[in-house]
Amino acid sequence: MGILLIGMSHKTSPLAVRERFSLSCENRDHPLDRIRQMPSIREALYLATCNRVEVLVSAAEEAEQAVEEGLKALMAERGGISGQELERCLYTLSGAEAVRHLFRVASSLDSLVMGEPQILGQVKEAYREAVEHGVTGILLNRILHHAFQVAKRVRTETGIADNAVSVGYAAVELAKKIFGRLDGKVILLVGAGEMSELAARHLLKQGIKSIFVANRTHARALEMAEQFEGKAVVLEQVPEVLKSVDIVISSTGASNYVLTRDMVAAALRRRKNRFLFLIDIAVPRDIEPAAGDIDNVYLYNIDHLQELVDENRNHRLREAEKAEAIIEEEVGNHTAWLSTLDVVPTIVEFREKIEGIMKAELGKSASWRHSLSEIDQRHVESLMASIVNKILHEPTACLREQSRNRNGKAYAAALRKLFKLER
């Protein structure tokens, strides 16, 4: 039995191709309904996210080529693309390479944003669907649970998920450093740019109390205020509003400063020198740089945020090297387990035969055991079971060990001959 993985990701295919598979899932039967009907496939997993579409199957090794061709034909059909176009986007992995890839995906090492947590939940959801479709067995169950453990280990033992890698999260990270807690704080959005909106969304998730929106076009300010359940104000009100807010995110298209040093200084006096966090995402800048020189004012512009993002991204890349080492170790563990599967049927048959002998002998002794108390009879049965387990332990442990050393088949054949195992 072998493992085969076929798929495409953001690294190998454009969004226009990947979204065809997403649309096909919305309008048609689940791909697993088709995959499980394909000959030679024993188990299957179908993973589809914004950034990847992958099929993982276990199949008879001698049929691997046919299975690969069948899966490619199915993907071409579902995506509505030619086989030639599909080939340009696909990767095909087997055996340990497929396992390594799955471990890297679950650990978010292969994600568009390395360290993001969503992918693990998506892999778990794909596994849940596979279980519901009845297309999992000993191999995929083991691989998927192992992948979940590896992902947890990577997040626990490395800093792969530490620190923000987007401007929006970087703003949240800085705000937390300044204020400690963000619940109860008030935001002022100046301008209605996409990046400031994203930053505001991240901050609102931290328990921000309320939000003001000021924009040159008041209708747009009203629209965004409604979206955030906040209050719209006109630009001329900004100096007045400054006295009651804690965080300002500015991203207008103005050619001159919207917030001057004098405005900020005046506001700070009226707010009794409480901290004020200013985020200037605009280019050219909205906030006079000298405002950052005022005590208790923390001013960051887009370059500051980007520097933080770059620094954090480099940190994650360094942590990724540790994560890759963990994955290599775990792939080795999985390969060792996989190599013992060849001898499992022999071990099972060996145990069944010895246990059968024990039960037969117990049956023969039923006449004299009948005179024993019920407790003594259980003691005899327990003693027999303990002896059998001790007898079985050494040969089965030896068989597993030899299997990991690639000698399993020879030792299994010897055991079968010695004990006349017939299946």
What value, to the nearest 5°, has the Cα angle with vertex 63 and ends 58 and 67? 65
Please give the Cα distance from 139 to 235 (Å, whole number). Answer: 63
pLDDT in tens, the chain (423 residues): 789 999 999 999 988 888 777 655 555 678 899 898 888 899 999 999 888 999 999 998 778 889 999 999 999 988 888 888 889 999 999 999 999 999 999 999 999 888 888 899 999 999 999 999 999 998 999 999 999 999 999 999 999 888 767 776 787 788 888 888 888 899 999 987 776 677 777 778 788 889 999 998 889 889 888 888 899 999 999 999 999 999 999 988 888 899 999 999 999 999 888 999 999 988 889 999 999 999 999 999 988 888 888 888 888 899 999 999 999 999 999 988 887 777 888 888 898 899 999 999 988 888 888 888 888 988 998 999 999 999 999 998 888 888 877 788 888 888 888 988 876
What are the extents of the domains in the chain?
2-163, 167-309
Specify the 3-state DSSP secondary structure of 260.
Answer: coil
How far CA 41 is from CA of 64, 207, 276, in Å, comes to 9, 49, 62
How far CA 275 is from CA of 16, 242, 244, 267, 402, in Å, comes to 46, 11, 11, 11, 68
Sequence-distant (6+) residues with CB within 8 A of 248 are 187, 188, 190, 242, 259, 276, 277, 278, 279, 287
Instruction: Give me the pLDDT at residue 22, please.
Output: 66
**Tens digit of each residue's pLDDT (9 = 90 or more) over 260-311:** 999 999 999 998 889 999 999 888 899 999 999 999 999 999 888 888 888 8
26 labeled binding residue: no
34 labeled binding residue: no
Tell me which CATH code domain 167-309 carries.
Answer: 3.40.50.720
Please give the Cα distance from 63 to 37 (Å, whole number). Answer: 15
407 labeled binding residue: no
195 labeled binding residue: yes
Q: Which CATH class is domain 2-163?
A: alpha beta
Q: What is the largest CA-CA distance in the chain?
A: 105
Query: Phi and psi dihedrals of 14, rounded to 5?
Result: -75, 160
313 labeled binding residue: no
In Å, how far from its chain's centre is CA 275?
37
**Tens digit of each residue's pLDDT (9 = 90 or more) over 126-179:** 999 999 999 999 899 999 999 999 999 999 999 988 876 777 678 778 888 888
Instruction: Give me the pLDDT at residue 28, please.
Output: 62
For the chain, counts of helices (H) and of strands (E): 17, 10
111 labeled binding residue: yes
> Is the alpha carbon torsion for 212, 215, 218, 223 positive or negative?
negative
25 labeled binding residue: no
118 labeled binding residue: yes
**Tens digit of each residue's pLDDT (9 = 90 or more) over 287-297:** 999 999 999 99
Instruction: Give me the pLDDT at residue 61, please.
Output: 76
Tokens found for residue 55: 């099929």
Catalytically active residues are 50
Sequence-distant (6+) residues with CB within 8 A of 203 are 171, 172, 175, 182, 185, 187, 247, 249
Specify the 3-state DSSP secondary structure of 29.
Answer: coil
Please give the Cα distance from 189 to 251 (Å, whole number). Answer: 8
Tokens found for residue 292: 């950052």
